[in-house]
Structure 1
Amino acid sequence: MDDESCGDGLSPNDIRRFLTHIAAIAVSSTKAEGGVDDDGAAAAVAVETITALEELKAAAAGAQAVLTTQVADTIRRRRRDAGRPAARWNTGIATQIGLARKDSPHRGNTHLGLARALTAEMPHTLGQLRRGDLSEWRATILVRETACLTAEDRRLVDDRLCADPAVLTGTGDSTVAAMAARLAAELDAAAVARRKARADQHRRVTVRPAPDFMGHLGALLPMDRAVCVWATLRRDADTLIATGDADGRTRDQIMADLLVERTIGLAHPLSPPVAVQVVISDQSLLAGSDIPAEVPGYGPIPAAAARQWIHDAVTSDTAVTLRKLYARPTDGHLTAVESVARCFPTGLARLIDLRDRTCRTPWCDAPIRHHDHITPHEDGGPTTADNGLGLCAACNLAKQGDGWATTRTDDTGAHADVHTVEFRTPTGHTYRSRPPAQPLPMPHRKAG
């Protein structure tokens, strides 16, 4: 069976040998191309080859999606023509797909669902996948975040996010999920609200084994509560570190210890619970718009849910603070923030956090830990929002290496005036990063 070809095409074994041959050539050619005495050129060629192989993997995943749909449709059609009951047309298909991909039946069902969604309702996403512009995992994220939509609305999300490959270039997994979720909430807020209500019913605590006599304790909670629990543990861990009471423990170790102590009643919070920040447009807060709100560190949430949170907080004993953010009405780009802190850098850092949301390195969605100068301070770079960007600790450390450079660039067209940063690597490759879109403020008419 493995050696049978499909018509005049290659057999499965031919494809295996072909791909193996490509991988072998890729490794050997990078050595020959760069030359023994030119490590820089060899590294540059190797980076290009890594990118090409990643695009090949994505293209292969796109081909698998098309073939998976063909297999499922063929089996269904044969069973239907044979007079089998409709309830048995799909039996075992997902298991076959899982086995073919050396995966579990559960994963086979995921692969089958992804393939059906891509081929039937998301042609632009499938096209990017087959061209190697989009990874299989990011395609899976887009399918997952639009699962609650109708086929028509799903095609709209597909058109807006994937018709132009530049829209998702440089975005990380969390950003892709947030963009799709935001569009889903705009197109069908009721469907997203129903999905949220169903999700609340699945809250639970689980435990599973981990290596070295450890265990993973997980809690699936409503997002606001989950953020509050995590932020409270982190804040109190930072307090213990600052006061010298950490006893040599890391922040993560202290957070884990605090969770255990408070759960079994051995300790109490060091101070009142922390706040959950919500960025919401005045249109959504005051005019009933369905433009999603944003929770820094989590992503978009339906406007109705944000309004309900704010209403519940105002009518309870919870402290509520309203902080005004100033944005251009045309694109929502943040330009300033009202600061209640005495120290200006704190307010500036907060503006960068709200603008960038996650690490600005392309494809990195890690939380912001450092606020860095694009043009280094020692080279005369000012401490301003325009010259600042949020980075995770690892990316900021990498950026300090020899040969790395970041510059502010001016885009044109739809991205004009957006805070675009260009990263240049030691091998001479450049990557661009733009901050995620913000909720648009109400348009204001000029007086007169």
Structure 2
Amino acid sequence: MERGAAVKAAEALAASASALVASLRAEESPGSGTADPLRQSADDFLDGLAQVSRIDAQVAAVRIHLAGRYVGAAEALLGPPVSPEEHTAQEMSIVAEVSCALTVSERNGSALLGEAHRLRSVLPLTLAALELGAISWQHARVVVDETLNLDPAAAAALEAHFLDPDDPNPARGCPAGEMTPGRFRAKARTWRERHHPDSIEQRHTKGVADRRVEYCPDRDGMAWISAYLPADQASGIWARTTADARALQGPTEIRTLSQLRADVLAGLLLAADLHTDGTTDGAGELAGAGAGCAGRVPSPKAQVLVTVPVFALMGLTEEPATLDGYGPIPPSMARRLIADGAESFHRVLIDPRDGAPLEIGRTSYRITKALRQWLRLRDAKCPFPGCSNQSLDNDADHVLAWADGGTTGISNLGHPCRRHHRLRHTSAWTPTQPTQNEPPGWNSPAGRHYQSEHPDWEPPHWPEKQPELLSNGVESDLLDCGDPAHQPGQPDGRDFPDDR
């Protein structure tokens, strides 16, 4: 992009924004003659917001091009450095110049130049989507972040999976630009973990070595405590504090769930440190102390699903398992959780053909619990667009009400969080019909449809050297097992009878 062309592109975007503002002002003036002016205005405002979002993305693309071009021009003006010290000085000078021009900190200026370099040199599909306004700047930054430390081939594969509709294995569900950046990050991170060229076991070993707790003072007499922990420990802590907090809720409890979680966690940690002899007995003592601080209310058992590829569970492959509410974990962690018989963790095997859930052990639960677990597997989180509320806290909701003839089956149930369950029943937001494999989408009061995400299952890896058991009939057993509830002559086990 020539210097003049870059300036003209920025001016054209500015003109587009000015024209949009002028049209909005004209709309506000009286005299608009439509059959339903209020509805027309509301639709125009939504279209205007969407157009502004596309303009923002295109402005970000122009900024990337300008930043990248400036670096090239500045380096040419400065000439090749003669020493590492001069090279560092030149980089600092360029960063300082850009930061001053944009009125941002040098840290942010340096980050922008790094993102511009990666987008222009390694991530052409992402930059092209940004130029078209198909994704936002936040989405582009997610791709930059999640491809760091990947080789060019792996980075190209990740962006092609999400941004190239002709890719052999395109992402299913919502297009990247129609997801919130936070949800897109979760999808991109999951794909990265599955396809990273380095073994997840190797990366997890390094992560365990880096575990730590951090303390950060904040305003108003408050502070943050954060812990970098193995995923199973962190998920167990979150599930335990949530379960204890929910047990304390009641008509006379004025604290919110978030406040209760914080109080339960503080009680678990501080009460264990207040014994007269100054010692603790480990996890058991912590649990007892926490129960005391929680008013001695019995805690419901948290249920955390661990989805394990069959061959990874057998130790034949090293592909990641999935911890509900977290994402990919090393298979060694999944095998340990299952082998230890942790009561809060429930194994989920997946089909070697397509990655869909095989079974969740229905024989040990009543139908209502099994049905909830199928919902958690299908949806993974609240299906409302952009919501990240994990499945453990969500409600089972009849899409077609039971009173109107709806059935209590997986194809008539949504799994919204409390907030969006309430939204469904107190507003004109309505869910669309789900299927066995896809959660419901949503229709808005403005008449617009928003598609839900669903887990992006992939077929597990088959072992390179297939052991003897696969040639002795075990393969057919694995492929034919399906849903254990589905027996010959019986209705589909995923469409359970009414559980009133």
TM-score by length of 1: 0.82
* Structure 2 counterpart of 1:431: 450
The residue correspondences of 1:299-448 to structure 2 (distance < 5 A) are 299-301=327-329, 305=330, 307-313=331-337, 318-319=342-343, 323-324=347-348, 331-334=354-357, 337-340=360-363, 342-368=365-391, 369-408=394-433, 418-419=437-438, 421-440=440-459
AA aligned opposite 1:155: A
User: Which deviates more, 180-189 or 80-89?
Assistant: 80-89
* Structure 2 counterpart of 1:39: 38
Measure how far apart 1:152 and its partner are: 1.5
Distance 1:187 1:130 in 2: 27
Measure how far apart 1:15 and its partner are: 6.5
Query: Contact 1:34–1:45 (CA<8 Å) still a contact in 2?
Result: no
Measure how far apart 1:389 and its partner are: 2.2
1:41/1:88 CA distance change after superposition, 3 Å: same
1:442/1:219 CA distance change after superposition, 3 Å: closer
1:56/1:372 CA distance change after superposition, 3 Å: farther
AA aligned opposite 1:386: S
1:36/1:106 CA distance change after superposition, 3 Å: farther
Distance 2:413 2:358 in 1: 12
Give the match's secondary structure for 2:187. helix
Distance 1:322 1:364 in 2: 24
Distance 1:67 1:47 in 2: 30
Query: Contact 2:414–2:434 (CA<8 Å) still a contact in 1?
Result: no
The residue correspondences of 1:233-244 to structure 2 (distance < 5 A) are 233-241=241-249
* Structure 2 counterpart of 1:21: 18
Question: Structure 2 residue aligned with 1:258, among 243, 264, 269?
Answer: 264
Question: Structure 2 residue aligned with 1:298, among 326, 341, 347?
Answer: 326
User: Which deviates more, 288-297 or 168-177?
Assistant: 168-177
User: Is 1:183 aligned to residue 191 of structure 2?
Assistant: yes
AA aligned opposite 1:431: Y
AA aligned opposite 2:254: G
Query: Contact 1:62–1:126 (CA<8 Å) still a contact in 2?
Result: yes
1:290/1:140 CA distance change after superposition, 3 Å: farther
The residue correspondences of 1:127-166 to structure 2 (distance < 5 A) are 127-164=128-165
Query: Contact 2:411–2:434 (CA<8 Å) still a contact in 1?
Result: no
Measure how far apart 1:405 and its partner are: 2.9
Distance 2:26 2:270 in 1: 59
Distance 1:318 1:13 in 2: 58
User: Which deviates more, 390-399 or 135-144?
Assistant: 390-399
1:120/1:29 CA distance change after superposition, 3 Å: farther
Measure how far apart 1:186 and its partner are: 3.6
Distance 1:432 1:8 in 2: 38
Root mean square deviation of aligned Cα? 3.5
1:197/1:16 CA distance change after superposition, 3 Å: same
Measure how far apart 1:325 and its partner are: 5.0
Distance 1:15 1:212 in 2: 46
1:289/1:393 CA distance change after superposition, 3 Å: same
Q: Deviations over 1:95-132 (max 9, x none)?
A: 44444443322222222222222111111111111111
The residue correspondences of 1:86-125 to structure 2 (distance < 5 A) are 86-125=87-126
Q: Which has the larger radius of gyration?
A: 2
1:90/1:384 CA distance change after superposition, 3 Å: same
Give the match's secondary structure for 1:185. helix
* Structure 1 counterpart of 2:471: none
1:366/1:111 CA distance change after superposition, 3 Å: farther
Query: Contact 1:121–1:154 (CA<8 Å) still a contact in 2?
Result: yes
Give the match's secondary structure for 2:455. coil
Measure how far apart 1:154 and its partner are: 0.6
AA aligned opposite 1:129: L
1:157/1:61 CA distance change after superposition, 3 Å: same
Distance 1:13 1:300 in 2: 41
Question: Structure 2 residue aligned with 1:215, among 215, 223, 237?
Answer: 223
AA aligned opposite 1:144: D
What percentage of residue pairs aligned between the two structures are identical?
21
Query: Contact 2:194–2:319 (CA<8 Å) still a contact in 1?
Result: yes
Give the match's secondary structure for 2:459. coil
TM-score by length of 2: 0.74
Q: Deviations over 1:156-180 (max 9, x none)?
A: 1111211129642543444423332
1:147/1:36 CA distance change after superposition, 3 Å: same
Q: Deviations over 1:251-275 (max 9, x none)?
A: 2222212222232235713379956
1:259/1:160 CA distance change after superposition, 3 Å: same
Give the match's secondary structure for 1:277. strand
Give the match's secondary structure for 1:90. helix
AA aligned opposite 1:297: G
Distance 2:401 2:359 in 1: 22
Distance 1:62 1:253 in 2: 42
1:429/1:181 CA distance change after superposition, 3 Å: same
Measure how far apart 1:390 and its partner are: 2.0
Q: Mind listing any 5+ residue stretches in structure 1 that lack a counterpart?
A: 411-416
* Structure 1 counterpart of 2:316: 288
Query: Contact 1:146–1:181 (CA<8 Å) still a contact in 2?
Result: no
Give the match's secondary structure for 1:55. helix
Q: Mind listing any 5+ residue stretches in structure 2 that lack a counterpart?
A: 166-170, 275-287, 292-297, 463-474, 481-500
Distance 1:212 1:409 in 2: 46
AA aligned opposite 1:310: A
Q: Count residues in correspondence.
A: 430
Query: Contact 2:397–2:415 (CA<8 Å) still a contact in 1?
Result: yes
Measure how far apart 1:6 and its partner are: 4.4
1:431/1:247 CA distance change after superposition, 3 Å: closer
* Structure 2 counterpart of 1:232: 240
